[in-house]
Amino acid sequence: QVQLQESGPGLVKPSGTLSLTCVLSGGSFSTRVWWSWVRQPPGKGLEWIGEIYYSGTTRYNPSLKSRVSMSLDGSKNLFSLRLNSVNAADTGMYYCARGPTLSTFEFDSWGQGTQVTVSS
Amino acid sequence: QSVLTQPPSASGTPGQRVTISCSGSSSNIGSYIVNWYQQVPGTAPKLLINSYDQRPSGVPDRFSGSKSDTSASLAISGLQSEDEADYYCAAWDDSMEGVVFGGGTRLTV
């Protein structure tokens, strides 16, 4: 059973860089699925940030594309998120997820989430 | 403003049937499967069902999903108190080349 666990600083200063890591256990990076980051501002809905394939190919939400990058390390079973030039609007819960799958585009496993606050 | 449109709230009494709608366009719901997620406040979202009415193991068959043209629906029958949660629809979007979510519907039982 796939399990995902996010980690990273809970507090980031404005204009700084948010860096998070998601460790995968109980599975491996697959050729039939992407790996994504999804965030949720306080009291608001879900927003897809972007995804990375096992090959390293990435796709990002156009609204964040200029500030985001993702990487994957298969040898360590983890993938990472970097978001530059953060501001208060980037505050929220950040989830890593398995998906979207190539057949049904679903996110079938989620991490528990990690809270990130942007504040000086 | 979310790409997919959901009603912000829905409610029902135990045992009732409730339906939550999700409206999109030809670039998302009109072309791709729709997935529904359940999020109990304070926890991570959980995959619930898709528009082919396929459920992960462990999801009761009280939940059903469907799609027609550019709209999708989630139906919950035999409503139970533990169904009280936020529900999100999601689909791939060709215009954005990514996944888009609905704004979420808070279900009160």
Q: DSSP string covering B2-27, please?
A: -SBB--SEEE--TT--EEEEEE--TT
pLDDT of residue B69: 95
Q: How confident is the model at residue A103 (pLDDT cuts 50, 70, 90)?
A: confident
Average pLDDT over residues B84-99: 96
pLDDT of residue B95: 94
Q: Are B102 and A47 an interchain contact pair (Cβ–Cβ within 8 Å)?
A: no
pLDDT digits (tens, 9 = 90+) for B50-62: 999 999 999 999 9
* pLDDT of A1 higher than 90: no
Q: For chain A, give the percent of residues with pLDDT over 90.
A: 86
B97 interaction partners in chain A (CB closer than 8 Å)? 59, 62
Structure tokens given for B81: 């108190």
With an 8 Å Cβ cutoff, is A110 touching chain B?
yes
User: Is residue B104 helix, strand or coil?
Assistant: coil
Whole-number average pLDDT of chain A = 95
pLDDT digits (tens, 9 = 90+) for A16-71: 999 999 999 998 887 778 999 999 999 999 999 999 999 999 999 999 999 999 99
pLDDT of residue A11: 97
Cβ atoms of B34 and B91 closer than 8 Å:
yes
With an 8 Å Cβ cutoff, is A101 touching chain B?
no
Residue, of A114 and A29, whose pLDDT is higher: A114
Cα A66 versus chain centre, distance: 16
DSSP structure class, residue B4: B
| Distance, CA of A110 to CA of A4 (rounded, Å) | 6
* pLDDT of B74 higher than 90: yes
For tokens 């791709």, the residue is: B32
| Distance, CA of B53 to CA of A64 (rounded, Å) | 32
